[in-house]
Every structure is written in structure tokens, then in C-alpha cells.
């Protein structure tokens, strides 16, 4: 049995802003059959404190980056969950990282340094008689933990793994905060946690962790290039022997389609059209559930949409983000009978959309792994994706070879521009009109391996390999 402490800034079902929460929530149960006892540490945001049930105090600090703090032990399903309750850092209205207006909390460096310090302390000293063998850190919010672990003298006994979910977010703060964050000044250099004269929490994790991982094999390769590495590609090339790409999965007990074969989708398609008062057109009903940002390629989609709509296709969109994109899609919905736009996020609506859609669009400029296309595969809602990151690793393109072999599960497009996406949408319309081919692709998609089974086995093997026998 390998003992692992997972350190994350969010975790379903308690708090979620993105795919990191799904991973942190799913991993413990997925790993248990593989001989891994994983306990998880997350911050005690208001939603977390309100969402947990019975709890037991297992540790306390009088002073932790500006105030007192308590560790509560509770359970998330059958798994042990530790919650860092530090009201001066986490008890505030707004999101996990910023206020209601989307502005980052100015004390984010201290907030997540506290999470990292507590994680390192638990691993170095143990908790409740339980001693982790591996500390699994997720993204910049736990990036200081491997460095703190080393400073506390636990690095020779406890191994650390740093997982990059999105390298675009690096946890930067000014060098004047070295003392405030209780960081060793000796590490502020090019080979340490310094990044263009700033402190980088993510870089600290990438430098001081024993092993590195990211959430798809293709993204691991992309990260070592200037185009995708966000200034850290050189460091990752130096550590490429320690870097592995492990695909995310989804919890198939939660994401279960309300039908067992492709024919069952028809009723849900009709219900989705009725919900949004869309006409019963002959082309594919496409759905998009996404943050509305440039990263997600939605500016390109706006240019390419006529290729779908002019051929009888439709689009139902759910998301929020950049105001310019929100206005553009709302305007499209007002002027075109084949488009429906909902600004915001509604989990129930997202599920109805994926169940009723014929295809799901994911035209991202970069996508470390992506979960949306996995939901689409599970529901037989064929993904149309850009050829990048985890999208490249999970969707089998309906190329002539893919169709001839009878294994295609969706469409990939490259290069990333409006013309290429428009061509993919035109191909989508043609495939949809070919009933037998479309039914075969749906069946292939629904049979795709999207669970955590394979990836959990990969992580379990990696943890076992990392365990230090001092």
C-alpha cells in the first residue's frame, strides 16, 4: 500500500473552477483498487466548510501567514479529506482565487504558501500517526510544497510529484515577498524559484519536486517547446527524463448517458431543441460548454460558424468569460434562428446539452487534457477538436484512414485557423448525413476508454517507483 497526500486548491463536489477539481475529486477512489491510500488536502473556503459533514480537529497553528489555522479531518465518500481552515486566508466572499469582479486576491501568494507549508509539514512530520510516502502537488497553488518539504528536512524520506494542469498559470509575485513567504533566499536564482526577477510558485515545484507530470502525453511534449512552455520550456527540457504525461479520466458513475446505444439520443436531441425553441433542421445539433476565452479558440469559431449554419447545422452554447465574446455569441443568437446562447454555467443544463447534442466543439488553442471531449465521447456526442494536447490524444480523427478502419470517434482540425475549422464543420455535416457512418462513429465514441482505470494504474506505478527507502 503506497501512502500519498494529494494537495489541491479545489476538489469536486465541494469547490470547482475547472478540470483540476475533477481530477482531485476522482483520483483517491480511482487509485484505491491499485493499492494506493490517497488522502487529500484542500483549503477551507466557505463552500468547503459548509459542504463537509462531521469533522475532527487533527492539527492547529497559532500563526500561519497572518493568523491561526486548524486542520479538520473529514471524509469525501470513502476517502479521507483534510481541510485547512484558516479564516484570515480563505473565509471570504467570491471565488477561490479572486473576488466577485474577477480580480485576484492580493494575498494569493500567502494563501497558497500556507496550503503548501501545511502540506509539507504533514508529510515531514506525519499526522494522526499517518505518514505519507509521496506528496502529489497540483498546479502552482501547491508549488512551494516541495521546497518547504526540503527545508523541513522531509525531502530525503518523502518523494514529491508536481503535476502541471495548465502552465499558463504560474503563481507569480514580486521578489520583495521572499521573507514574507518564508522562502530560502538562496533559492532565488535562475536554477531555483526565480522567474524574470519574480517569484514563481510553479517553477519552485518544477525545480524541487522529484518527478513531474502533466495531464496528457502530447501536452508533455508541447510544454518543452517555446510555443507552449510559457517561458519554462528550457527547464522542462532539462527535466524531461523526470516528466511524464498521464491522461486525465472521468468518473463514469457520475457521467453516465441516459441511453445505452446511439439510437437513444434522438429523444434528448428533440428535447434540447424544444428547450431552446430551435427548429428541427436536418444538420447536426452542435453544443459548446466552455469558458469564453481566446484560449478556447472561440474567436475562430465565430468566423467559422457560417460553414455549419449555412448547411443546416445548429449551435447551443453555454459559458461565460470575456465580455466581447459573450456579446458576440448573444448577438449571433438574436440574429440567427440556429443559435442559442446561455451566459453562465449550469451543470444540469450542461448534461442535457451533451446528452442531446450530435457533436461537441472544442476548438482550443491549447488544451492540456480537456474533459469536455471525454464527456462527449461517453455520450456519443462526437467531438470536433483542434489537434493539440489531450484533444490529440483522445479523439480518433475521421480521416479517410480512420473511416476505412472503422475506428473514428470525432474530427480533428489543424492548423488552428478559421478556414481549417470551417472545413471540419463542413465535413461534420457530410458525415452526419451519412447515417450508417455516423452511427458507427457514435458507437465507437461510446466505447472509448475515458475512465480513470488505465491512468490510475499508471499513477500507482509511478508512486511505487518514487517511494524512498531511506
Peptide bond between residue 415 and the one before it cis (omega within 30 degrees of 0) = yes
What's the fold here for domain 2-249+453-466?
Answer: Rossmann fold (3.40.50)
pLDDT over 70 at 39, yes or no: yes
Q: Which three cell numbers stand for residue 467?
A: 517511494
Spatial separation of the C-alpha atoms in residues 330 and 33, rounded to whole Å? 46
Q: Residue 296 annotated as binding?
A: no
Longest dimension (CA), the chain: 68
353-369: pLDDT as tens digits: 999 999 999 999 999 99
Say how many C-beta atoms besides its own lie within 10 A of residue 53's C-beta. Answer: 7
The CATH architecture to which 262-446 belongs is 3-Layer(aba) Sandwich (3.40)
Mean pLDDT of 232-247: 98
Q: Which three cell numbers stand for residue 192?
A: 531555483
Spatial separation of the C-alpha atoms in residues 269 and 281, rounded to whole Å? 11
| Angle formed at CA 145 by CA 70 and CA 230, multiple of 5 degrees | 130
| pLDDT band at residue 101 under the 50/70/90 scheme | confident
**So what's the pLDDT on residue 469?**
83
Q: Which residues contact 300 (CB under 8 A, 6 or more apart)?
A: 363, 416, 417, 418, 421
Give me the residues paired with residue 412 across strands.
385
Q: Which residues contact 101 (CB under 8 A, 6 or more apart)?
A: none
Task: Report which of 417, 420, 429, 425 is spatially closest to residue 299, judged by C-alpha positions.
Answer: 417
pLDDT over 90 at 189, yes or no: yes
Spatial separation of the C-alpha atoms in residues 242 and 228, rounded to whole Å? 18
Spatial separation of the C-alpha atoms in residues 284 and 261, rounded to whole Å? 18
390-407: pLDDT as tens digits: 999 999 999 999 999 999
pLDDT over 90 at 183, yes or no: yes
Q: Which three cell numbers stand for residue 118?
A: 501545511
Residue written as grid cell 509521496: 134
| Angle formed at CA 221 by CA 395 and CA 206, multiple of 5 degrees | 125
321-350: pLDDT as tens digits: 999 999 999 999 999 999 999 999 898 999
Residue written as grid cell 484542500: 42
Radius of gyration of the chain measured on its C-alpha atoms: 23
Spatial separation of the C-alpha atoms in residues 268 and 262, rounded to whole Å? 11
Give me the residues paired with residue 321 across strands.
292
57-86: pLDDT as tens digits: 999 999 999 999 999 999 998 999 999 999
Spatial separation of the C-alpha atoms in residues 418 and 416, rounded to whole Å? 7
Spatial separation of the C-alpha atoms in residues 361 and 469, rounded to whole Å? 47
Nearest-10 crossing angle of helices 418-433, 298-309: 40
| Positive or negative torsion for Cα 221, 397, 291, 252 | negative
**So what's the pLDDT on residue 280?**
95
Task: Report which of 128, 124, 120, 28 is spatially closest to residue 73, judged by C-alpha positions.
Answer: 128
Q: Which of 97-106, 190-199, 334-343, 397-406 has the lowest mean pLDDT?
A: 97-106
| pLDDT band at residue 18 under the 50/70/90 scheme | confident
Percent of the chain at pLDDT > 90 equals 96
Q: Strand, helix or coil at 162?
A: strand
Spatial separation of the C-alpha atoms in residues 161 and 166, rounded to whole Å? 15
Spatial separation of the C-alpha atoms in residues 114 and 121, rounded to whole Å? 10
Q: Which DSSP string do the residues of 26-81 spell out, in sequence order?
A: HHHHHHGGGTEEEEEEEE--HHHHHH--S-EEEEEES-SSSS-EEEEEEEETTEEE
66: left (phi over 0), alpha (psi -120 to 50) or beta: left
Parts of the chain belonging to CATH 3.40.50.2000: 2-249+453-466, 262-446
Q: What is the mean pLDDT of the chain?
A: 96
Q: How many residues does the chain have?
A: 470
Q: Which DSSP string do the residues of 129-168 spell out, in sequence order?
A: TB--SEEEEESGGGTTHHHHHHHTT-TTTSEEEEEES-TT
Q: Strand, helix or coil at 7?
A: strand
| pLDDT band at residue 470 under the 50/70/90 scheme | low
**So what's the pLDDT on residue 107?**
97
301-320: pLDDT as tens digits: 999 999 999 999 999 999 99
Peptide bond between residue 13 and the one before it cis (omega within 30 degrees of 0) = yes
Q: Which three cell numbers stand for residue 114?
A: 500556507
Amino acid at each position: 500500500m503506497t501512502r500519498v497526500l494529494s494537495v489541491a486548491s479545489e476538489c469536486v463536489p465541494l469547490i470547482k473552477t475547472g478540470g483540476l477539481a475533477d481530477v482531485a475529486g476522482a483520483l483517491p477512489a480511482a487509485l484505491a483498487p491499485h493499492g494506493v491510500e490517497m488522502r487529500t488536502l484542500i483549503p477551507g473556503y466557505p463552500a468547503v466548510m459548509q459542504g463537509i459533514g462531521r469533522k475532527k480537529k487533527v492539527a492547529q497553528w497559532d500563526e500561519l501567514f497572518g493568523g491561526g489555522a486548524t486542520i479538520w479531518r473529514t471524509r469525501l465518500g470513502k476517502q479521507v479529506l483534510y481541510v485547512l481552515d484558516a479564516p484570515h486566508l480563505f473565509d471570504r466572499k467570491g471565488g477561490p482565487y479572486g473576488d466577485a469582479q474577477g480580480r485576484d486576491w492580493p494575498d494569493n501568494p500567502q494563501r497558497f504558501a500556507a496550503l503548501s507549508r501545511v502540506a509539507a509539514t504533514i508529510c515531514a512530520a506525519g499526522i494522526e500517526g499517518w505518514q505519507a510516502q509521496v506528496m502529489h502537488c497540483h498546479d502552482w497553488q501547491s508549488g512551494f510544497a516541495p521546497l518547504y518539504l526540503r527545508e523541513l528536512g522531509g525531502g530525503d524520506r518523502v518523494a514529491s510529484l508536481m503535476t502541471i494542469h495548465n502552465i499558463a498559470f504560474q503563481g507569480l509575485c514580486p521578489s520583495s515577498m521572499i521573507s514574507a513567504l518564508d522562502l530560502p533566499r538562496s533559492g532565488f536564482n535562475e536554477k531555483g524559484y526565480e522567474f524574470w526577477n519574480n517569484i514563481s510558485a510553479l517553477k519552485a515545484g518544477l525545480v524541487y519536486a522529484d518527478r513531474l507530470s502533466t495531464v496528457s502525453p502530447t501536452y508533455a511534449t508541447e510544454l518543452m517547446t517555446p510555443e507552449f512552455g510559457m517561458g519554462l520550456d528550457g527547464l522542462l527540457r532539462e527535466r524531461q527524463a523526470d516528466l511524464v504525461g498521464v491522461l486525465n479520466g472521468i468518473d463514469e458513475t457520475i457521467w453516465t448517458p441516459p441511453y445505452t446505444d446511439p439510437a437513444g439520443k434522438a429523444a434528448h436531441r428533440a428535447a434540447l431543441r424544444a428547450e431552446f425553441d430551435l427548429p428541427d433542421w436536418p444538420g447536426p445539433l452542435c453544443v459548446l460548454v466552455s469558458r469564453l476565452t481566446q484560449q478556447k479558440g472561440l474567436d475562430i469559431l465565430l468566423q467559422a460558424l457560417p460553414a455549419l449554419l449555412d448547411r443546416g447545422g445548429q449551435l447551443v452554447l453555454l459559458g461565460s468569460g470575456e465580455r466581447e465574446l459573450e456579446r458576440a455569441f448573444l448577438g449571433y443568437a438574436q440574429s440567427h434562428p440556429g443559435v442559442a446562447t446561455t451566459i453562465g454555467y449550469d451543470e444540469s443544463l450542461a448534461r442535457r446539452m451533451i446528452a442531446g447534442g450530435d457533436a461537441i466543439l472544442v476548438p482550443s488553442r491549447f488544451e492540456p487534457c480537456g474533459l469536455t471531449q471525454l464527456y462527449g465521447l461517453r455520450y456519443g456526442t462526437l467531438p470536433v477538436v483542434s489537434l493539440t494536447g489531450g484533444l490529440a490524444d483522445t479523439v480518433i480523427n475521421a480521416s479517410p484512414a480512420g473511416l476505412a478502419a472503422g475506428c473514428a470517434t470525432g474530427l480533428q482540425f489543424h492548423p488552428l485557423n478559421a478556414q481549417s475549422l470551417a472545413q471540419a464543420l463542413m465535413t461534420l455535416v457530410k458525415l452526419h448525413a451519412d447515417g450508417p457512418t455516423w452511427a458507427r462513429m457514435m458507437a465507437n465514441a461510446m466505447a472509448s476508454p475515458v475512465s480513470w482505470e488505465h491512468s490510475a494504474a499508471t499513477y500507482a506505478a509511478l508512486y511505487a517507483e518514487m517511494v524512498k527507502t531511506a
